[in-house]
Amino acid sequence: MLTEERHQIILEQLKVHNIVKLHDLIPLTGASESTLRRDLQDLENCHKLLRIHGGAQNVISLHEEPALSQKASIHLDEKKAIGRVAASQVRNQEVIFLDSGSTIQFMIPYLIEHKNLLVITNSVDNASMLADYDIETFLPGGKLKSSTKALVGSTMVQTLETYHFDKCFLGTNGFSIESGYTTPDPEESSIKQLAIKQSNQTFILSDSSKYCQVSFSKFADLKDATLITNELPVKESVLLNKETKVMEVN
Amino acid sequence: MLTEERHQIILEQLKVHNIVKLHDLIPLTGASESTLRRDLQDLENCHKLLRIHGGAQNVISLHEEPALSQKASIHLDEKKAIGRVAASQVRNQEVIFLDSGSTIQFMIPYLIEHKNLLVITNSVDNASMLADYDIETFLPGGKLKSSTKALVGSTMVQTLETYHFDKCFLGTNGFSIESGYTTPDPEESSIKQLAIKQSNQTFILSDSSKYCQVSFSKFADLKDATLITNELPVKESVLLNKETKVMEVN
DNA sequence: GAAGTTTTTTGAAAGAATTTGAACGATATT
DNA sequence: AATATCGTTCAAATTCTTTCAAAAAACTTC
């Protein structure tokens, strides 16, 4: 059995069981304990799995989103800068859609500079913050998704279809040249797609850590939106620029 | 069984039951008492749960205290007691409407005991808390009122007209024999009226400090609802009882 | 193409580190 | 006071890392 074959078996087991014991791999591969330990180490080095005592664990499945609180605390300064630039794209009297997502939230403090704004959002957290800043806000109805505190579902879709936005601002869980913009939850994905359709202009906010990340459900091509992000690796930036509008934040 | 597997089982049980007894975990995992104690300790150290005597509990108490502003914290124990009694009126599988208002919020922690609940609320703050407790929640659309973070307006009215609730739980700014239940904002008042109309049963939660307070807009007569409150002055209580159902909380 | 050499991969062994279950006194609950 | 639960300690069992030599593969040289 080749090394590659064993690696494949291990990853396959992980896909199915989320956790795999080292001793269970011995009969499955016919290899010795030592060899399998080395395999696990190799796979951990390229972030394909996480070793735990007695075996290995999936690094994080595509469907599982990290909890909002953990996600929110990292990349704080970048997000503030991105939020400031995004807010600067808004004009007085406009109607804008704000997606759920921690990065979007950083726009809100900068929005008070604009007068007579009307904000539509599907995020309960955003709504609460918008109320604190006394910005006129409307929530379309929907089912509350507890993990992200976003509203989703058919009611939301039906409502959005009757609206039209000057601009919409969306978050993303990943973007890449091949796969475009992606997010784990198909339901949230279709809300994003609809928001884009109903908007004159689309902005997607993302810190550069999301680059080359691919999640389950694609909601837009790179060319469909203006990406607002902090600096990307130089050569990648060139590549991206052929496909889409990018605003880099310093 | 690996440590990580046990941890997953424990957290899964907590998601479902919100409380888990240590002894129930022994057959579920096949591990010894000692091992499970260590597991609970580990999980508590990374804030995944809260240990309690005999087992563990979901960690969510964070939101209970700080969400409330100055005046909200005065009658804290009363409100908790009122919330507990109100929640005890709910049955499994019911559809209930929760109003905005700080007293209502105290119901939410006690709602986790009920299974397959569907909660409709017009309060963004309630929604956020309900999501934390992983209770199925639906928000009708509406304009966000920044002072109370409640949703109001014609969209809300239209949506509510198509719903029907087993029970609704409302807050009030004042109640008296002559004027019934009153609140300052006519828009919120009409939402409350509609919620009552669409419900089989109406409960109004109020600490006794609201007695004899009269606000601008009346939304119900005393006889239209069951009042859940802490103890009233005795003679008043007698008077009230002729008009309406009162549940006193001690 | 064969024999020899180097490199890589493999399995086994030894000692270190971790995990586990049981015991026991301390603490909390009734 | 009686019962149940808790934290601590300790020895046994399991797993991990490191090391080393044998086997396999790749590469040289003739």
DSSP letter string, B208-242: GGGBT---SEEEE-GGGSEEEEEPPPHHHHHHHHH
Strand D bases, protein C-beta under 7 A: 4-9, 14-19
Q: Are B165 and B192 in contact (CB under 8 A)?
A: no
Q: In terms of CA atoms, which chain B residue is nearest residue A132?
A: B146
In this predicted model, what pLDDT tens digit does every residue of A88-140 receive, in sequence order? Answer: 999 999 999 999 987 898 899 899 888 899 999 999 989 999 998 899 999 99
Bigger pLDDT: A239 vs B120: B120
DSSP letter string, A146-194: TTTTEEESHHHHHHHHT--EEEEEEE-SEEETTTEEEES-HHHHHHHHH
Residue ranges of domains in chain A: 3-58, 68-249
**From the alpha carbon of B41, which nucleotide's C1' atom is closest?**
D7
Q: How far is CA A16 from CA A28, A30, A36, B52, in A?
A: 14, 20, 19, 34
Q: Is A154 on the interface with B (CB under 8 A)?
A: no
Closest CB from B130, B139, B149 relative to A131: B149
In this predicted model, what pLDDT tens digit does every residue of A48-98 receive, in sequence order? Answer: 899 999 999 987 643 344 444 444 444 566 788 889 999 999 999 999 999
CA-based R_g, chain A, Å? 21
Mean pLDDT calculated for residue range A191-212: 89
Q: Is B158 on the interface with A (CB under 8 A)?
A: no
* Chain A interface, best mutation among B133, B137, B143, by max A CB count within 10 A: B137
| Separation between Cα atoms, residue A208 and residue B148, nearest integer Å | 37
Q: In Å, what is the separation between the CA of A249 and the C1' of D20?
A: 54
| Separation between Cα atoms, residue A14 and residue A19, nearest integer Å | 6
Whether B146 sits inside 8 A of A132 (CB atoms) is: yes
- What is the pTM (predicted TM-score) of this model? 0.66
Q: Is A134 on the interface with B (CB under 8 A)?
A: yes
Closest CB from A53, A131, A143 relative to B138: A143
pLDDT of the residue at B3: 94
* Chain A interface, best mutation among B4, B148, B156, B157, by max A CB count within 10 A: B4
Residue B194's H or E segment, with its range, is helix B186-197
Whether B2 sits inside 8 A of A127 (CB atoms) is: no
| Residue A96, min C-alpha distance to chain B (Å) | 14
Q: What is the CATH class of B68-249?
A: alpha beta
Q: How far is CA A179 from CA A47, A238, B13, B93, in A?
A: 20, 17, 36, 42
Q: In Å, what is the separation between the CA of B244 and the C1' of D1?
A: 49
Q: Are A213 and A176 in contact (CB under 8 A)?
A: yes
Near strand C (CB < 7 A), which residues? A 1-3, 30-32, 34-35, 38, 53; B 1-3, 6, 30-32, 34-35, 38, 53
pLDDT of the residue at B50: 87
Whether B4 sits inside 8 A of A145 (CB atoms) is: no
pLDDT of the residue at A239: 54
* Chain B interface, best mutation among A25, A105, A125, A146, by max B CB count within 10 A: A146
Q: Are B160 and B180 in contact (CB under 8 A)?
A: no
Mean per-residue pLDDT of chain A: 85
∠ CA A215-A221-A222, rounded to 5°: 100
Q: Is A180 on the interface with B (CB under 8 A)?
A: no
Indicate whether A190 pLDDT > 80.
yes
Which residue is the nearest neighbor of C17, CA to C1'?
Answer: A53
Q: In Å, what is the separation between the CA of A35 and the C1' of D20?
A: 15
Q: Which residue has the tokens 């399998």?
A: A36
| Separation between Cα atoms, residue B174 and residue B96, nearest integer Å | 23
- Residue type, position A91, single letter: R
Positions in chain B short of pLDDT 70: 16-17, 60-77, 232-244, 248-250
Q: What is the CATH class of A3-58?
A: mainly alpha
pLDDT of the residue at A244: 66
